[in-house]
Structure 1
Amino acid sequence: MPLVNTRVTPNHLTTVRLLIGLIGALCLARGGYGWVNLGALFIVISNFVDHTDGELARVSGKSSRIGHFYDLASDALVTVLLFGGLGYGVRVASVREWIGVGVSPFLLGCVAGIAVALIFFLRMRIEEMEGKAGTKQASLGGFETEDVLYLLPLVTLFSGVAPFLIAASIGAPLFAAWVVIDYRRVVRRSRPQPEAKQEASQIWVSR
């Protein structure tokens, strides 16, 4: 990797990713065909840069707990603002055309964004208990679930923001519910078993 022997750190790349993502979210919030397409482009670039900080940390040995948390927090913030920006920039009429009800697009974006924030938080907690293997995402042909954001330019290019937002407001909470169930399973598994507690107490008594 070209940046290995430079002063650039993974946190620098995370900051660049965060700034590009914020610009993208602001563009999406402006609404209008041109702005949302520009915003989608920034989001894709931000998502691409997101993969570079972890790679730099791995090959350079510059990984840290704070850096990892910063990366996760940046991921969550950009994704939440992405959906919030999409919702803010979409007209109510566009949503009504698809579901027949004049639901606030911003509300739909907030629902999706909050669900995503919950997913990131629970995944971080699971990782603390089981390591990265416990939060490994489903992948297909090397593509992970979060890589769906690379399709955002196609969504905006073909004026599919409203249906995408509706789908996200349904799919994200459902996925969050699945992560909650997985989190509860991990918590139960990490608790000491009654037999183990009893054996430990017997050992202390025998001493």
Structure 2
Amino acid sequence: MSANTVIHRIVRPAVRRVAPSGVTPNQITSARLVTGLAAALAFAAAPPWPAIGGAIFLLSMLLDRADGELARQTGQSSPDGHVYDLLADCTSNAIAFLGLGVGQVAALGAWGPFLGLLAGLGIAALFWQLHVLKLGEVRGWDLAPGILVDPDDLMVFVPLLLWVGATVPMLFAAALITPALAVLLGVTGRRKARAGQG
């Protein structure tokens, strides 16, 4: 993933101010994980908590970018820190959808948690395939000069869709798309690996 996306550029000035304080990248990663879990709990609760959870989730996304940015600015990058960052990101993103699904029990019955679980498992599978199995490459998109986004940035649509009342369609889409992408990546990634060995 890129280290110069729009969200990285948003957090960079704040990270520069925090860098001399002695705060470590792993502490920011821990804050990312805690806010991710808090957002998921808020998504699962009755109104107005889901809307508040959207704001917490956006904070969690900013922290996701800030930990790596701090590590780069202060020379504290490490393999263990990278793994912790990936685990926190995967957990936060996957559990968010489970929370969203639980929060839709009144509208969807048992389908709500099921769809949330399916989307969360799809996200976890994609993380595993991309970052552990290395079955594919995560590429960003240059939307315009100086405006780079990567696939993880698309999670910004989670709170936005929630705030406009589109949680149910988002759940259905995520429950269909993320597992399908995981299957597709698994098939194409293995084919490329076999072709490379041949």
Give TM-score, length-normalised by structure 1: 0.78
RMSD: 2.1
Report the count of equivalent residues: 179
Please give the per-residue CA displacement for 1:115-166, whole angstroms capped at 9, x wherever unaligned: 1111111112244x8xxxx632342421222222212232122211111101
Counterpart secondary structure, 1:59: helix
Question: Percent same amino acid among aligned pairs?
Answer: 31
2:115 aligned residue? 108
Alignment of 1:106-185 (within 5 A): 106-127=113-134, 135-141=137-143, 142-185=148-191
Larger Rg: 1
2:7 aligned residue? none
CA–CA distance in structure 2, aligned partners of residues 157 and 70 of structure 1: 30
Runs of 4+ displaced beyond 4 Å:
none
Q: Taking structure 1 as reference, are residues 30 and 11 closer, same or farther at Cα in structure 2, changes over 3 Å only?
A: same
**Structure with higher RCO (Cα < 8 A, 6+ apart):** 2
Aligned pair partner of 1:42 in 56, 64, 69: 56
CA–CA distance in structure 1, aligned partners of residues 140 and 183 of structure 2: 16
CA–CA distance in structure 2, aligned partners of residues 119 and 146 of structure 1: 11
Q: Taking structure 1 as reference, are residues 60 and 170 closer, same or farther at Cα in structure 2, changes over 3 Å only?
A: same
Gap regions ≥5 residues in structure 2: 1-15
Moved more, 180-189 or 44-53: 180-189
Give TM-score, length-normalised by structure 2: 0.81
